Amino acid sequence: MLLRKTILFILFFLSATLGFSQGSDYPFLGEVTSDDVILRAGQNQNFEDILKLRKGDEVIVTDKSFTWLKVKLPPQAKSYIIGKYITLADEKNGEVNAAQVNIRARNSTESTIIGQTNKGAKVNIIAKAEDWYQIEPIDNSSGWVLAEFIKFKDSDISLYNQGQVSTLKTAEVAIPQEEPKSDMISVSGILVKAALENPGEIGYKLKVRDAPDYYLEGMRYLLNDLVNREVEVKGTLMKNSQLSSSVIAVSRVQIIY
C-alpha cells in the first residue's frame, strides 16, 4: 500500500512539473483552465493573493519553480508603491522620484515585493491608500500560479489579449511620429534596450546583422521580457527625422528558437 501511494505521488508530481514540455520555453502564452484560480505574490499558498483568475484568461508565463509558474501581472491586478516615492503629474499619473523602489502586493512594508522600478518611470495611479498609491502593474512585476491550472497556448506572446482593461500609460517609447506609411515589414535580429534622451525613458532597438538597426514602438509590456533574445518583428515601417534609425510600429513579435 505504501509503495502504491509513493508511485501515485511521483506520477502526480511529474504530471505537474512536466506538463509544459511541449513548447514551454519562456516566455510563453498560457491559458487558465479553471475558475477562481488564485494568483499569488509568491510560490506557495502562504503568500498574499493578488488576483482571482477565470477560466479562459490568458497570462504570460515567464518562469517556473517546482509546481508554480511565474506570470506577468495582468493589468487588473493590484500593486502598491509608497507615496513619497511618487511625484504627481495629476491625480492619475505620477513619476518615480527615487532609484530601486519596491512594488508590493499590499500597502505595507511587511507585504511581499512583486516588482521594482526606478527613477523617472511613469506610473498610472488607481487610488490612494493611506501613505501608499495603488497603481497599475509595472512591466516587470509578477505573481505565481499553480502550474496545474495553466495550459500552454502559444509561444507567440504578442497574441496576449488584455481584455477590456485600459492600456497602461507607463514609460512608453517617446518617439515623435510623422505620418505613418502603410509599409509592412518583417525583420529578425537581437532585441536590445536603447536609452532615449528624456530621463527614465528606455526604448528598444532591433539589431540586425549586416543591416541598419530599427527602433521599436509599442508592445512595451512584451518587449521588456525579450531583451537580448533573437526575435522576429512584424509591423509598420515609419520614418522619423529625429532618430538615426527607422522605426517599426510593432504588431507582432515572435521568439526565434
Instruction: Report the CATH number at residue 198.
Output: 2.40.50
**What per-residue confidence (pLDDT) applies to 199?**
42
Contacts 24+ apart (CB under 8 A), 243-247: 243/175, 243/215, 245/205, 245/212, 245/213, 245/214, 245/215, 246/212, 246/214, 246/215, 247/175, 247/177, 247/214, 247/215, 247/216, 247/217
Q: Whose grid coordinates read 521580457?
A: 225
Residue 144 resides in a domain = yes
Residue 166 resides in a domain = no
Tens digits of per-residue pLDDT, 85-130? 999 998 899 999 999 899 999 999 999 999 999 999 999 999 998 8
Residues in the chain, pLDDT under 50: 5-19, 21-23, 163-182, 198-201
Whether residue 27 is preceded by a cis peptide bond, meaning omega within 30 degrees of 0, is: yes
If we measure between CA atoms, which residue out of 97, 83, 93, 224 comes closest to residue 169?
93
Instruction: Round to whole Å and give the CA distance between 193 and 215.
Output: 10
- The reply to whether 28 and 147 lie within a common domain is yes
Residue 179 resides in a domain = no
- The reply to whether 41 and 125 lie within a common domain is yes
**What per-residue confidence (pLDDT) applies to 147?**
94
Residue 8 resides in a domain = no
Q: How many domains would you assign to the chain? A: 2
Residue 75 resides in a domain = yes
Residue 94 resides in a domain = yes
**What per-residue confidence (pLDDT) applies to 130?**
85
- The reply to whether 145 and 230 lie within a common domain is no
**What per-residue confidence (pLDDT) applies to 164?**
31
- The reply to whether 102 and 48 lie within a common domain is yes
Residue 208 resides in a domain = yes
**What per-residue confidence (pLDDT) applies to 257?**
65
**What per-residue confidence (pLDDT) applies to 196?**
62
**What per-residue confidence (pLDDT) applies to 168?**
30
Residue 174 resides in a domain = no
- The reply to whether 76 and 145 lie within a common domain is yes
What is the span of the domain harbouring residue 246?
184-255
Instruction: Round to whole Å and give the CA distance between 110 and 128.
Output: 18
